[in-house]
Amino acid sequence: MDDPHPVTARDPETSAVRSNEIETLRALDDALANRIPLCGLRLQDLNLTGHESELLERTDVEGMVVLGGRLSTELETHLRAHHALIFPTDPHAPVNPYRATLYQPHELYAGLGERGYEETPDAQAYHWSRDAQLHHDAFVTLLRAIHDDSITDALTEFIGPRPVVGVMGGHALARGTREYAVAARLGHALAAAGLVVATGGGPGAMEAANLGAFCPEPGRLDDALDRLCAVPSFAPSIAAWARLALGLHDEIMEAGRERSVRSVGIPTWFYGHEPPNVFCDAIGKYFSNAIREDGLLARCTAGLVVLEGAAGTVQEVFQAATRLYYAPAGAQIPPMVLVGVRHWTETVPVWAGLQALAAGRDMAGAIHLVDDVAEVPSLLRV
């Protein structure tokens, strides 16, 4: 049902006209100062303690929804009395389900140095999710769903209208290998061409592509590739793997890296054994792998590059193929480029299936199989 009093609010951080969501205190100040009706507004993850007196004077709050944040018992009682909805949170939740922004690497890995990986918010969120599944906790299930919707909203705002290329590939690819360096240099070339490089946000080929996009100069990328060899894999120690990467991440940022969006990771807690890589301008991590996969592929407006991988990568290939197959006739279809002829025709022979699906459809002109990543940029919508 539509809100009874639809309004628009201006986000002062971006000067963009938004819907009825208020995600910053500055936006709330703007709404209150301009006497915008509060009916139907969504106040997301705000500390309202500094606005108590103003809000206690307002009674036009029917249908207003307060998602998490902080407010006194007095204000909560007042708002409920005038038919606002207050969504509580779980004080034991390791993540904020109502967050309005994407994650930063140090946020997910907080406490890594002192207590080890198992005590970080990233690891705790995975265990929290698993406990809810085991105990059928409907409230935790609801909070996870709200969290994922909040992440989707934040991703849309963060990426904006920028063209996005997805880079998929296996999580087992080790640092220090030729294939890892090739994936990293591909990511760098795509970002240098003006594309946002989006990956599944995990280790292996995903980390390599994010790393390449995150590094602003080729020399810094070469240095990072050399130094990352010291810890080739997240097994057996996620802590050592992540700690080395976090140090490099901070050095790249402190060197005066331009704050443009070049690298985004979209991982999932569904794969609890895969830690998120840190070479991202922001991380949109999901509890639901299905929502994460669909959202990631839907954002790849410039195309999709598929490096060698196994089951998870194959799932992404055919999920993307479904979009291409059912695209309306004459629509602009983002290309999908598979890299590794032998891998995709012999080791994991999905290419024949893609060709069979594409026969006689517009999809046939959108799928490509190459051996050399140097061919990739010319096949994308750069």
DSSP structure string for 29-54: HHHHHTT---TT-EEES-BGGGGHHH
Q: 296 to each of 134, 152, 257, 283, 359, how far by Cα in Å?
A: 28, 10, 25, 12, 26
Residue-wise pLDDT tens digits, 217-263: 999 999 999 999 999 999 999 999 999 999 999 999 998 777 789 99
Please state which of the four CATH numbers 3.40.50.1010, 3.40.1080.10, 3.40.50.450, 3.40.710.10 is assigned to the domain occupying 152-379. 3.40.50.450
Distance CA 62, CA 84 (A): 5
**Lowest-confidence segment of 5-14, 81-90, 98-107, 123-132 by average pLDDT:** 5-14
CA atoms within 13 A on the CB side of 257: 23
Q: Are 200 and 270 in contact (CB under 8 A)?
A: no
pLDDT at 34: 94
Task: Reply yes or no on whether the pLDDT at 4 is more than 50.
Answer: no
Q: 6 to each of 3, 20, 36, 153, how far by Cα in Å?
A: 5, 7, 11, 19
* CATH 3.40.50.450 placement within the chain: 152-379
Residue-wise pLDDT tens digits, 141-155: 899 999 999 999 999
Residue-wise pLDDT tens digits, 291-341: 999 999 999 999 999 999 999 999 999 999 999 999 998 899 999 999 999
Q: What is the amino acid identity at position 343? A: H
